[in-house]
Structure 1
Amino acid sequence: MAGYTASKEEHLRRLRRVEGQIRGLERMVDEDKYCIDILTQVSAANRALQAFALELLEEHLAHCVAEAVAKGGAEADAKVKEASDAIARLVRS
């Protein structure tokens, strides 16, 4: 079971909202809206995706990584490295 399974419906709702924001951006470009207004909406969509990513990361750490660390060994090391790499990608984006 994935670490996010318990909150899957909430995650799907959040992603649908982001999808709606992206469709809104498409409409804004299609309707030749003011550049700054579009950039403001891009910023909002980015923040929404970042919030989703952080929540998912938190659940991954609490479930998948914690479980692997409790077992110990190479799997624990691999999960910690995997989580570190994911954090690095999020920080760079």
Structure 2
Amino acid sequence: MAHTIKHKTKLLARIRRIKGQAEAVERALEAELGCTDVLMLVASMRGAINGLTAELMEDHIRHHVVNPDAEPDPERAKGAADLIEVVRTYLK
């Protein structure tokens, strides 16, 4: 079973929240809100997309590259854990 299918409910809930944020941006533009308000909404949406991307990448690393929690080689486990941390930091 693919990890995206395993976490399907959780991932779909995140996508639905992002969809709601996109609709809020659309409403703000239609209502001709100020650029600061629109930019804040877009920034929130970008943060949500980055969070989803980080989660998907971490799951991909753990399931298709190396799972640091199950890797017997301590050096490889640390390398995988470091990679996951870099991805999360980069996408913050």
- How far apart, in 1, do the equivalents of 2:2 and 2:64 lie? 8
* Residues matched between the structures, number: 71
**TM-score of the pair, normalised by structure 1:** 0.68
Partner residue of 2:10? 10
Question: Structure 2 unaligned runs (5+)?
Answer: 72-86
Q: Confirm or deny that 1:47 pairs with 2:47.
A: yes
Partner residue of 2:56? 56
- How far apart, in 1, do the equivalents of 2:19 and 2:65 lie? 29
**TM-score of the pair, normalised by structure 2:** 0.69
Q: Report which of the two has the higher share of helix.
A: 1
Q: CA deviation at 1:19?
A: 0.5
In the alignment, residue 56 of structure 1 is paired with which amino acid? Answer: L
CA offsets, 1:33-56, max 9 Å, x none? 111000001000000000000001
Using CA pairs below 8 Å that are at least 6 residues apart, which structure has the higher relative contact order?
Answer: 1
- How far apart, in 2, do the equivalents of 1:4 and 1:66 lie? 17
Question: Structure 1 unaligned runs (5+)?
Answer: 71-86
Q: What is the identity percentage for the equivalent residue pairs of Structure 1 and Structure 2?
A: 31
